[in-house]
A = this chain, B = another copy of it.
Amino acid sequence: MVRALALSAALMAATPVLAEDGKEAVTTFTLDNSMDVVVVEDHRAPVVQHMVWYRAGSADEPIGSSGVAHFLEHLLFKGTDTLAPGEFSATVAANGGNDNAFTSYDYTAYFQRVAADRLELMMQMESDRMRNIRLSEDDIATERDVILEERNQRTDNNPRALFGEQMNAAQYLNHRYGVPIIGWRHEMETLDMEDALSFYQTHYAPNNAILVVTGDVDPDEVRSLADQYYGVIPANPDLPERIRSQEPPQTAERRLTYKDPRVSQPYVQRSYLAPERDPGAQEKAAALFLLAELLGGGTTSYLNEKLQFEDQVVTYAGAFYRGVSLDDTTFDLLVVPAEGVSLQEAEDAMDRVVAEFIAEGVNEEDLDRIKMQLRASQTYARDNVDGIGNRYGRALTSGLTVEDVQAWPDVLQAVTGDEIIAAAREVLQLESSVTGWLMKDDEVTQ
Q: Which A residues fall within an 8 A CB radius of B?
A: 62-64, 66, 162-163, 165-167, 169-170, 173-174, 176, 178-179, 184-187, 243-246, 248, 251-260, 430-431, 436
Least Cβ–Cβ distance between A263 and chain B, in angstroms: 12
Whether the pair B256, A254 counts as a contact (CB closer than 8 A) is: yes
Separation of A179 and B257 alpha carbons in the complex (Å): 23
Whether the pair A246, B63 counts as a contact (CB closer than 8 A) is: no
Separation of A179 and B173 alpha carbons in the complex (Å): 8
Whether the pair A169, B174 counts as a contact (CB closer than 8 A) is: yes
Q: Nearest chain-B residue to A243 (Cβ)?
A: B64
Whether the pair B248, A258 counts as a contact (CB closer than 8 A) is: no
Separation of A179 and B63 alpha carbons in the complex (Å): 13
Whether the pair B256, A252 counts as a contact (CB closer than 8 A) is: yes
B252, B260, B431: the one contacting A163 at CB < 8 Å is: B252
B186, B244, B254: the one contacting A246 at CB < 8 Å is: B186
Separation of A280 and B354 alpha carbons in the complex (Å): 56
Whether the pair B173, A251 counts as a contact (CB closer than 8 A) is: no
Q: What are 30 inter-chain pairs, A to B, with CB distance below 8 A?
A: A63-B63, A63-B176, A63-B245, A64-B243, A64-B244, A163-B252, A166-B251, A166-B252, A167-B252, A169-B173, A169-B248, A170-B252, A174-B179, A174-B187, A185-B248, A186-B246, A186-B248, A187-B246, A251-B258, A251-B260, A252-B256, A252-B436, A253-B257, A253-B258, A254-B255, A254-B256, A255-B255, A255-B256, A257-B430, A259-B431
Separation of A166 and B256 alpha carbons in the complex (Å): 14
Other A-B contacts than A174-B184, A185-B248, 15 sampled, CB-CB below 8 A, are A62-B63, A66-B174, A66-B245, A162-B251, A163-B252, A166-B173, A170-B173, A170-B252, A184-B248, A187-B245, A251-B258, A252-B257, A253-B258, A255-B255, A259-B431
